[in-house]
Amino acid sequence: DVKVTQSSRYLVKRTGEKVFLECVQDMDHENMFWYRQDPGLGLRLIYFSYDVKMKEKGDIPEGYSVSREKKERFSLILESASTNQTSMYLCASRHRANNQPQHFGDGTRLSIL
């Protein structure tokens, strides 16, 4: 089975802090994704990466950046956290063929105070 591991289940940070969310997958998938999930809005794509050091903006990239130095790891960075970034963050990975499903981690519930 594919395993996607997010480093924290719950995280509390303060406004203005730099926040790192880490995601690791063990299936040698080329594609990795970061979403945020908010009630009534479903999942919205923040960034995705289709290869090491490659990234593309999703629908809501403002206030976020990403890093993919190794194939198995995809990091989401909040450069200066704000309260409107309080949300559930979900990481996913997928084989490059787009008829393959995405596999999700358990999510990180991030609260910015």
Partner 1 sequence: AQSVTQLDSQVPVFEEAPVELRCNYSSSVSVYLFWYVQYPNQGLQLLLKYLSGSTLVESINGFEAEFNKSQTSFHLRKPSVHISDTAEYFCAVSPTGANNLFFGTGTRLTVIP
Polymer length in residues for the chain: 113
Task: Report 15-54 residues binding partner 1 (CB under 8 A).
Answer: 31, 33, 40-43, 45, 48, 50
- Residue 4 found at the interface with partner 1 (CB under 8 A): yes
Nearer to partner 1, 31 or 87 (CB): 31
Q: Does 74 bind partner 1 (CB under 8 A)?
A: no
Rule CB under 8 A: is residue 106 a binding residue for partner 1? yes
Q: CA 88, CA 37: separation in Å to the nearest integer?
A: 5
**In terms of C-beta density within 10 A (0-12 exposed, 13-18 middle, 19 or more buried), how is residue 30 classed?**
middle
